Copies of this chain bind each other. A is one copy, B any other.
């Protein structure tokens, strides 16, 4: 266990990210919100989730800044939930997980998939790219501190393949 690996594990934003996103139901609620669900009753009937769990998860997503909660202008007793900028920024992660599920976990062949509105063609598979556009695999990746790039004395920990 190198010092670098310790730093990676201790300073990693993944635990905070997971904490913010919460668990399975939170994920399902975000997926619904991205696809246009806005009201408590819509989430409830579409996801088949218990009302107390839904209320809890909606509050948490609002508190974490992933959903906004606003009264509708036409009827202020009705509340609308919408993905915030922070929430919509989760889309690449959700698309990557969805594509993984399509490849490894699915289920239904030929179900709905995300396409480009302009030409109707399927989107690319999510990949990791170098700054110059080369596609990278786990073997090509290395951990480094921004201010110490390429400083060999830091002996950055290699990603295990």
Which residues of A does B touch, CB under 8 Å?
A: 1, 4-5, 7-9, 11-21, 23-24, 27-28, 31-36, 42, 46-47, 65, 86, 88-108, 110-124, 126-131, 133-134, 136, 138-147, 149-150, 156-161
Q: A139–B83 Cα gap in the complex (Å)?
A: 13
Q: A130–B100 Cα gap in the complex (Å)?
A: 18
Number of chain copies forming the complex:
2
Which of B17, B46, B92, B123 lies in contact with A9, CB distance below 8 A? B46
- Chain B nearest CB, measured from A39 CB (Å): 11
A7-B111, A13-B107, A112-B11 given; A142·B117 CB < 8 A = yes
Are the CB atoms of B24 and A120 closer together than 8 Å? Answer: no
